[in-house]
Structure 1
Amino acid sequence: MSTARFYDGLAATYHALYPDWEKEVHEQARALSKLLGSPAPGSAIADVACGIGTQLLGLAEAGYDVFGSDVSRAAVHRARAECVKRGLVAHVVVADMRALPWPDASMDAAICADNAIAHLLSDDEVTSAFDELRRVLRPGARLAVTIRDYDAALRERPYGTAPQVMGTPGLGRVITFQLWTWHGASDIYDLEHFQLTCEDEGAWKTSRRTATFRAYTRAHLLELASGAGLAAAQWLTPRHAEDFQPVLIAAGPTRETPHPT
């Protein structure tokens, strides 16, 4: 299944992955603003792989001029609807992170959150995405990329995740879990994502979606980011980043320079 189809199927219930999605929207915006150097209100921020708006909505509410993109049409549709519901303005389009729709040096900051980069399965694909992020960032503008702790996952090679049980407004109880199937000894795995929703008392509905990920180590992604010309790349732990995943912080070039060859 394609990445777009995976998130098309998840768009309506993505918020059920969090105990309190509305609270998460505001907390992530606060943490990301600090990671990005607290840009001035009105600054242009790109949210690459914005999904249904978990980061985008809070950043727009904080007064930033937010530009979102995602490969999932259903996720983009919901992100737009969530903006309308809140009276927020954001510019959200369907686009691949390897071909961003914005002009060169047009963004004051950028984010790529929630493990989206791991859908790219080769070094060349990740480098293309980093090239595009570098291209749209103004000189010195910051980038934040959040990803699973794959250093730990590659040591443990888990078969999946423990079930999460959430009480979600409008959906009732939702049980979510993942099964992972590794491609031999490689760092690529197929993920089966299950959600069980109780629509009527005692009547459960099961949804299953599949996608493929690559478990990039922090050292590997750091090398790819630096090779793409992103400056001052470094990792922050979840504790220091106030996020539940490790965060790669980098920046656009300190001045307009040609892409490294």
Structure 2
Amino acid sequence: MIPRHTSRVDPTGFYDTLAPGYHLIFLDWAASRARQGKILDGLIRDTHGAGPNDVLDASCGIGTQALGLAELGHRVFASDISPASVARAEREATAAGVKLAGLSVADLRTLSDQLTQRFDVVMSCDNALPHLLEDAELAAAAHHLHAVLRPGGLLIATIRDYDATEPKPGQAVPTEMRVLGDGEARRISFQVWTWSADGRSYEVEQFILQPQGEGWLTTSARTRYRALKREELSRALTAAGFREMRWHMPAEGGFYQPLVTARRPH
């Protein structure tokens, strides 16, 4: 019998389940952390100044972007809705000898109510915002991301390229299976996307398979995303008061997802 660990569809349960093995979906998580930190540091330097800056990673996960930026000298505060992910980020920071300015469990929809400090830069990367399925939730998150910034502060957010994604209403579609690592470190990672009937959202089940004896240990976790288009996110950010909005596509900026920058006016 194959062991199977499932979570609730809400993002907290999804990321709590994946936190212990989240690094396994990367070929080399430490290298990816360094690469993404360098790209984001360059973007911050170009658009906001060399710093070091006070940065809030508001959907930090296990610390992929937060640790990468902290290693480059920024004062990084990390928060996430998943307690297990925040705890893992803290352990990873300790293991890497990286000092984070603080860690907290916080929800994007109530962020400025939970955090009293204000920041030069606030980030939400890795497709976190499409977890907000309703327009009212997205509007609340945009408002709170704006509120935690100092006047003139910079927002950085990334999402999947849903403008280039063809919905499959009512269908379950597996993603490409990735075989990563060698020997005992070998693992298989893939997802199944089950689209809603209207094609506006989809449920994801993330699978990670690791060798165990003569079989495989299977970890799975489920959550739901909206297929958030760039225009929809731009509209929500503008309504929240952001200005100087610009989209940076992977071919231009090097980040693996479309990335938007915007500013809180002075």
Asked whether 1:47 is paired with 2:61, we answer no
Which amino acid counterpart does residue 178 of structure 1 have in structure 2?
Q
Out of 24, 29, 34, the position equivalent to 2:32 is 24
Cα offset, 1:156, TM superposition? 6.3
Q: Report Cα offsets for 1:48-101 as digits up to 9, x if no partner.
A: 110000001111111111011111111111100111112222111111011223
Aligned structure 1 segments of 4 or more residues deviating by more than 6 angstroms: none
Asked whether 1:188 is paired with 2:201, we answer yes
Alpha carbons 1:48, 1:68 under 8 Å: kept:
yes
Aligned to 2:68: 58
User: What is the DSSP-based 3-state SS (H/G/I as helix, E as strand, rest coil) of the residue aligned with 1:222?
Assistant: helix
Asked whether 1:98 is paired with 2:109, we answer yes
Q: Which has the higher contact order (CA 8 A, sep 6+)?
A: 2
User: In structure 2, do the counterparts of structure 1 residues 168 and 84 end up closer, same or farther at CA, with 3 Å as the change threshold?
Assistant: farther
Aligned to 1:238: 250
Q: Which runs of 5+ in 2 are unaligned?
A: 1-7
Q: Kindly tell me the number of residue pairs found equivalent between the two proteins.
A: 251
- Normalised by the length of structure 1, the TM-score is 0.91
Aligned to 2:179: 165
Which amino acid counterpart does residue 23 of structure 1 have in structure 2?
A
Alpha carbons 2:119, 2:148 under 8 Å: kept:
yes
Alpha carbons 1:16, 1:168 under 8 Å: kept:
no
User: What is the DSSP-based 3-state SS (H/G/I as helix, E as strand, rest coil) of the residue aligned with 1:36?
Assistant: helix
Aligned to 2:5: none
Cα offset, 1:155, TM superposition? 5.3
User: What is the DSSP-based 3-state SS (H/G/I as helix, E as strand, rest coil) of the residue aligned with 1:19?
Assistant: coil
User: What is the DSSP-based 3-state SS (H/G/I as helix, E as strand, rest coil) of the residue aligned with 2:186?
Assistant: strand
Asked whether 1:179 is paired with 2:192, we answer yes
In 2, distance between residues paired with 1:58 and 1:88? 9
Which amino acid counterpart does residue 221 of structure 2 have in structure 1?
R
Aligned to 2:18: 10
Alpha carbons 1:154, 1:215 under 8 Å: kept:
no
Asked whether 1:114 is paired with 2:126, we answer yes
Alpha carbons 2:33, 2:64 under 8 Å: kept:
yes
Aligned to 1:136: 148
Alpha carbons 1:35, 1:144 under 8 Å: kept:
no
Alpha carbons 2:168, 2:199 under 8 Å: kept:
no
User: What is the DSSP-based 3-state SS (H/G/I as helix, E as strand, rest coil) of the residue aligned with 1:37?
Assistant: helix
User: What is the DSSP-based 3-state SS (H/G/I as helix, E as strand, rest coil) of the residue aligned with 1:32?
Assistant: helix
Residue identity (%): 37
Superposition pairs for residues 78-89 of structure 1, below 5 Å?
78-89=88-99
